[in-house]
Chain A
């Protein structure tokens, strides 16, 4: 499965080893890991709860991976995203892409992450000293994804 949503932690090395296993055509692997910070919008973050839309979230990310495969010559891609209770230092998301060359792997990895941030149904609720709050979507994420729309 190129998309996994889970509460458990993941081990990037093992995931990447599985992704490229026995494929000698792979010459490049690009990966991204998102982690929980202890500060957001000026408030100390003690932890967060990540919610998703079971079914649509997987479908949405699978569609993003398909778009990346149409756009760049890559071999494979994997997205692992955690949900549930997370705290600072915890890993949230892994995106890994294999390809023949680094340029396409880097681009596809960034594309998948930018689209995931703006299109895949996940919502974060942070616990701060002032109480719990839903994280607001960032305009900078919309700007990041628009770059790919202008690069036809």
Chain B
């Protein structure tokens, strides 16, 4: 299982803040996870589109598309940050 977290506008658009999914065979990096989530359609397609401004973190470190994912990881998706 992996845990996926969604924050801010993304959480509202997708209608959930967290979920746990079994890591499907062949899903080994952020790029493939995005593709998997994109296939859910509707708001997911837009949020997880290639080139979208949505950022990602793996185990609480900012990560790019080629970042590896393994069972037990915590993945987060969120819009560009606006603190301070």
Contacts and interface: CB of A to CB of B under 8 A. Distances in A.
Interface of A: 34, 50-53, 55-56, 59-60, 81, 92-93, 113, 116-125, 134-138
Interface of B: 5, 7-9, 53, 57, 60-62, 76, 78-84
B81 A122 contact: yes
A122 B5 contact: no
14 contacts: A53-B5, A55-B60, A56-B60, A59-B60, A81-B84, A92-B84, A117-B83, A119-B62, A119-B81, A120-B83, A122-B83, A123-B7, A123-B83, A137-B79
Contacts of B60: 53, 55-56, 59-60
A134 B7 contact: no
Contact of B82 (A55, A56, A122): A122
B82 A116 contact: no
Given A119-B62, A121-B78, A137-B79, A93 B84 contact: yes
B78 A123 contact: yes
A124 B9 CA distance: 10
Nearest to A138: B82
Nearest to B80: A137
A52 B9 CA distance: 12
A137 B81 contact: yes
Task: List 9 tightest A-B contacts by C-beta distance, closest first.
Answer: A122-B83, A137-B80, A123-B8, A56-B60, A117-B84, A134-B9, A135-B82, A124-B82, A34-B84
